[in-house]
Amino acid sequence: MAYEAVIGLECHIQLKTRTKMFCGCEVEFGRPANWNTCPVCLGLPGALPRTNITAIAYALRLGLALGCDIRHESVFARKNYFYPDMPKNYQVTQYDLPLCEHGTLPVVVEGESRTFELMRIHCEEDAGKSFHPERVGDRRISRLEFNRAGTPLLELVTEPVLRTPAECAAFLTQLRKLVRALGISDGDMEKGQLRCDANVSLRPVGQSALGVKTEIKNLNSIKGVEKGVTAEIDRQRRELESGARIVQATLLYDADHDKLAIMRTKESAHDYRYFPEPDLPVLRVTDADLDAARAALPELPWVREARFVSQYGLPPYDAAVLGDSRELADYYEACARGGDAKLASNWIMTEVLRVRNDRGWPLEKWAEQVPAPRMRAFLDKVAAKELPGPVAKQVFAWMADEAGSVDELLALHGIQVQGSAEDLRPLVLQVLDENPGPVAQYLAGKTITIGYLTGAVMKKSGGQAVPQVVQQLLAEELARRG
Ligand code: ADP
Ligand code: MG
Ligand code: ZN
């Protein structure tokens, strides 16, 4: 029998507010253990929570961006369960009356536009962290640390509308892009700023009723989600094909070993004894709050990417790469507007992003060293064919470390751009004919002699040639002779 997978995602988004969800402690990482704590986030008796309005403003931004219905009066609830990293023994979250419902996320999956329906987005607080077991002498101990306890989270839950692991990956990539563009979260899965649980079931193709689902917890990378969901679909298919039934359960996925383990058979909502949080008032959202959130919305990433395609004639692939972050898209536009937009895209997508990755520079660092007008002046010279390819690459490399205009850099490094490949080829041929020894050495595998040959050509050109061009021509000619 042919089966189809049905997947629903529950995503937790850590908001980058200055303070926690219900107290004034700073949300700040790398502090000593339990530094950022107070009676509220430590759950001490008698401490009273207060809602962080910035977190609510961020939630509204996300809800509006996704076209959700926003509830004017939503309610916080206590979700009761015991775990040592949660000192109150309940988590403050929202239950039957969440802040946002419905809405959709538009996603491009393998070149095709899709729209995925959402169930809800609600506000809640994060738990602390436990580290265990650790060894101290001959004792085994667990450590608890509450710096993260009470950090604002949004939980976004999709309808069971995803069908493949690739769709899950595309969904999360798009969600990450969105929260970054909205400025509400850094969305880094490796750092736990975006976390995802995946609910998976199978059903015979053509059947509309949903099958029994399992839930894979705490997937912490997009690749991990793809692999974990793939593994669980395979496992369920094998079970069903062998005639077994799927048992509803919560699973853990070990991405390093591609292994699924059953954590517990699934609890249901009544196990949590949800009830309205008595210490917090109803969360009221006014029209003015909504207007303010709407005014804070940037151009949404998918709208901007579509505009990159229509306005600058970029391929959708380029638009998606450049639209990856607001900073990158802004930088691109500042370089492209009124110039050769595709050339700007090529240089930024390949060279700028390569420097950023090689050096581990955030884009801001690059943009500080090479602000858009400087990059633009460089691109204009490339577009005007004033810089041969290898020289352009060389100038680009200098720009990353040195100050000055393109002309100043060329002068500083004693390069006068005259020698086009056509001018230099006769000199190259001459040098090769005059140096049979080094040529033979090169062809025998001692490729370092190309330095000597380059020097000889440079000398013949009176120092006017561009070494990179010379070296490339030499390599071409030598390859021809080899
Ligand atoms: P629960 O009460 O078990 O947490 P919810 O109805 O809250 O279930 O849904 C949680 C997530 O599981 C949602 O993303 C939803 O789309 C998804 N989901 C629900 N039923 C199924 C199913 N049969 N197969 C796959 N995903 C499902
Ligand atoms: Mg759930
Ligand atoms: Zn606190």
Using the atom order of ligand 1, give the atom closest to the CA of residue 269: 2
Among 199, 210, 229, 272, name the best residue to mutate to test ligand 1's pocket (greatest count of ligand atoms within 8 A of Cβ).
199
- Protein residue closest via CA to atom 3 of ligand 1: 268
- Protein residue closest via CA to atom 14 of ligand 1: 8
Using the atom order of ligand 1, give the atom closest to the CA of residue 157: 14
CA 140 from chain center: how many Å?
Answer: 37
**What are the residues whose beta carbon lies below 5 Å from ligand 3 (ion)?**
23, 25, 38, 40-41
The rounded distance, in Å, linking the Cα atoms of 72 and 297 is 19
- Protein residue closest via CA to atom 7 of ligand 1: 157
Non-local CB neighbours of 227 within 8 Å, separated by 6+ positions: 165, 253, 255, 258
Give the distance (Å) from ligand 3 centre to CA of residue 80.
20
Pocket around ligand 1 at a 6 A CB cut-off: 6-10, 157-160, 199-201, 210-211, 213, 269
- Protein residue closest via CA to atom 17 of ligand 1: 8
The rounded distance, in Å, linking the Cα atoms of 177 and 186 is 9
Q: 405: which DSSP letter? A: -
Ligand nearest to the CA of 203: 1
Nearest to 238 by CA among 228, 250, 246, 226: 246
The two three-digit tokens of residue 322, written as one number: 């450049």
Using the atom order of ligand 1, give the atom closest to the CA of residue 6: 25
Ligand nearest to the CA of 44: 3
CATH of 421-481, one of 1.10.10.410, 3.40.50.300, 1.10.357.10, 3.40.50.20: 1.10.10.410
Sign of CA dihedral 240, 244, 245, 246: negative
Rg (CA), the chain: 29
CA end-to-end span of the chain? 60
The rounded distance, in Å, linking the Cα atoms of 118 and 116 is 7
Give the distance (Å) from ligand 3 centre to CA of residue 59.
20
CA 384 from chain center: how many Å?
Answer: 35
The rounded distance, in Å, linking the Cα atoms of 130 and 107 is 36
Neighbours of 98 (CB within 10 A): 25
The rounded distance, in Å, linking the Cα atoms of 388 and 379 is 12
Nearest to 125 by CA among 87, 158, 157: 87
Count Cβ atoms within 10 A of the Cβ of residue 218 and give its class: 0-12 exposed, 13-18 middle, 19 or more buried.
middle
Give the distance (Å) from ligand 3 centre to CA of residue 20.
7
Alpha helices, H only, 189-247: 222-241
Length of the chain: 482
Give the distance (Å) from ligand 1 centre to CA of residue 153.
20
Using the atom order of ligand 1, give the atom closest to the CA of residue 9: 14
Using the atom order of ligand 1, give the atom closest to the CA of residue 212: 23
Structural domain spans, the chain: 3-289, 299-388, 421-481
Nearest to 372 by CA among 407, 400, 336, 338: 336
The rounded distance, in Å, linking the Cα atoms of 85 and 89 is 9
pLDDT per residue, tens digit, the chain (482 aa), is 899 999 999 999 999 999 999 999 999 888 899 999 999 999 999 999 999 999 999 999 999 999 999 999 999 999 998 888 998 999 999 999 999 999 999 998 988 889 999 999 999 999 999 887 788 888 888 889 999 999 999 999 999 999 999 999 999 999 999 999 999 999 999 899 999 999 999 999 999 999 999 999 988 899 999 999 999 999 999 999 999 999 999 999 988 888 888 887 766 666 889 999 999 999 999 999 999 999 999 999 999 999 999 999 999 999 999 998 889 999 999 999 888 999 999 999 999 999 989 999 989 999 999 999 999 999 998 888 778 777 888 899 999 999 999 989 988 887 776 666 777 888 899 999 999 999 999 999 998 899 999 999 888 876 667 777 788 889 999 998 87
Using the atom order of ligand 1, give the atom closest to the CA of residue 160: 16
